[in-house]
Amino acid sequence: MIYTVTTSPSLDLVMQLGSPLVPGKTHRAVKEELRPGGKGINISIMLHNLGVMSTACGFVAGFSGDELMRLTAAAGVKTGFLRVRRGRTRINVRIKDGSNTANSANSAGSDSNASVSSDALEFGEESPVNTVTQWEHGIQTGVNGLGPVVSADDIQYLIRKIASLTKDDFLVLAGMVPPSLPQDIYSTFFASFKLGAAPKVIVDAPADQFKYVLKYHPFLIKPNLQELSDYLQLELKDANAVLEACHRLQCEGARNILVSLGKHGAIFMDETCNHYRIAAPGGALVDKTGAGDSMIAGFLADYAKNHSLESAAYMAVAAGSATATSEGIASKETVQALRAQMVDHAEWGESLI
């Protein structure tokens, strides 16, 4: 069984304007939508779309927590959220205006500009709190809300739940850890596993979490280029430099590493140091929210079926690209269509641009 953990999920209000956003002016939306938010929830939704069951876990509170659980269940995902008493599940607001300044670009899970961390611009992240990025028809501005107050007893309950997992399970730790929780909570999850019975753990979290988790030998980590550069304090100018950075992460404990390169695809290195440069299929960028999360889901869905790390890495790029070129999390049909376009074992090539 696959379990995803989002320590600070959100209810996302997406509003589309018909004209540019002007500070200090009242605007009327031409379209709006409420979506369940958070990296682990996005992963679970994509897994469901790909026909794979999972359970989404995390902390929820208040009326917004009720709606989050309803929307998540409506998306076909089994929920295992823990309700806490104080506060409410955060509400994130994303405003898409109609300024027509965006560029079309394909993406496999991060921004087309490698110097910017796209995962930080996805809902479910706190840094930066206010974000401005581009979408298909203009500028997108986001404001992330505050989360509930989580008690020590609440944390212990989740730890006990995670500690019951077995070696036949997969656990995905996704997203940043909010300030209201111990910043080393991911390492506490690892330490709770029974000796010889630990699940395979996938970590998709900001680089500041690497220092807590790498020593526990996670099955997979998925940094983007900026996160990898920030953690190792290296300027990663070409593909060979990324490979060297992956070697360093493996020396610190990572088993398999998937580095997302945005519209340039990904670089994957497995635990035996086999490595692959995976080009992303073409397509116009629509909305990169959830694209990095879809990469994790694509990897897990394929690996659970085929038990091939190489095949899983290719499916990860297909799934990430599918969501980046879709409105919302992509369908199975869109993922499969893009996977069919991809060329396996493409030439290595050093350039990242």
Per domain, the residue ranges of the chain are: 2-341
- The stretch 301-305 carries a mean pLDDT of 96
* Mean pLDDT of the residues in the chain: 87
Is 113 a residue whose pLDDT tops 80?
Answer: no
Q: Tell me: the pLDDT tens digits for 166-194?
A: 999 999 999 999 988 999 999 999 999 98
pLDDT at 345: 64
Hey, is 336 helix, strand or coil?
Answer: helix
Q: What are 56-79's pLDDT values in tens digits?
A: 999 999 999 999 999 999 999 999
pLDDT at 122: 33
* Average pLDDT of the residues in 302-326: 96
**pLDDT at res. 112:** 35
Return the pLDDT at 237: 87
Contacts 24+ apart (CB under 8 A), 339-346: 339/281, 339/314, 339/315, 341/281, 341/282, 342/278, 342/279, 342/281, 342/314, 342/317, 342/318, 343/279, 344/314, 345/276, 346/277, 346/278, 346/279
How does DSSP classify residue 149? B
Does the pLDDT at position 129 exceed 70? no
Does residue 353 carry a pLDDT above 50?
no
- The whole-number pLDDT of residue 99 equals 65
At residue 54, the pLDDT reads: 98
Each residue's pLDDT tens digit, 215-269: 999 999 999 999 999 999 988 989 999 999 999 999 999 999 999 998 889 999 9
Going by pLDDT thresholds of 50, 70 and 90, the confidence category of residue 196 is confident
Write down the pLDDT at residue 339.
96
Percent of the chain topping pLDDT 90 = 76
Q: Under CATH, domain 2-341 is a member of which superfamily?
A: Ribokinase (3.40.1190.20)
- Tens-place pLDDT, residues 79-104: 999 999 999 999 999 998 876 544 43
Q: Which 8-state DSSP code applies to residue 139?
A: E
